[in-house]
């Protein structure tokens, strides 16, 4: 299995809702990442998990809450989002952090906040 699987592919949520994005990989990668990508922009790093521990938080608002329950799974919990949070949320993984392997990306979750 050489894929990163993200669910759901599309999500529409109200500003008072709570939802979660899920990311799964079975490549044995020990680093996992959340990126946010607005239209016609490059991906922007949000969080890095290394060996299931949060190693980087790029000053992301607390309405985004990441979780790494095990080495294969990465979640992003969403609460009280704003319309400007609408974007493509990409999950990625790599064998290890800090060694420049390059990422395997999932197809993303297209999030719309109404």
Give the interface with other proteins as residue ranges (CB under 8 A): 4, 6, 31, 40-43, 45, 48, 56, 88, 90, 92, 94, 97-108, 110
- Residue whose CB is less far from other proteins, 75 or 107: 107
Q: Which residues pair with 19 in a beta bridge?
A: 78
List the one residue out of 52, 44, 35, 36 whose CA is nearest residue 96: 52
Least CB distance to other proteins at residue 72 (A):
18
With CA atoms as reference, report the closest residue to 92 among 112, 69, 76, 81. 76
Q: Going by C-beta distance under 8 Å and a sequence separation of 6 or more, which residues neighbour residue 67?
A: 74, 75, 76, 77
CB of 32 to other proteins, least distance (A): 12
| Closer residue to other proteins (CB): 72 or 79 | 72
Q: Which of 85/97 has CB closer to other proteins?
A: 97
Closest separation between CB of residue 80 and other proteins, Å? 26
Residue 77 near residue 51 (C-beta atoms within 8 A): no
């Amino acid at each position: 299995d050489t894929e990163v699987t993200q669910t759901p592919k599309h999500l529409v949520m109200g500003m008072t809702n709570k939802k979660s994005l899920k990311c799964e990989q079975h490549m044995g990668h020990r680093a996992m990442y959340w990126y946010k990508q607005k239209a016609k922009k490059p991906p922007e790093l949000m969080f890095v998990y290394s060996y299931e521990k949060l190693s980087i938080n790029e000053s992301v608002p607390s309405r985004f809450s990441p979780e790494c329950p095990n080495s294969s799974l990465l979640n992003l919990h969403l609460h009280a989002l704003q319309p400007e949070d609408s974007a493509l949320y990409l999950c990625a993984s790599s064998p290890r952090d800090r060694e420049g392997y390059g990422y395997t990306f999932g197809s993303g979750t297209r999030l719309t906040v109404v």
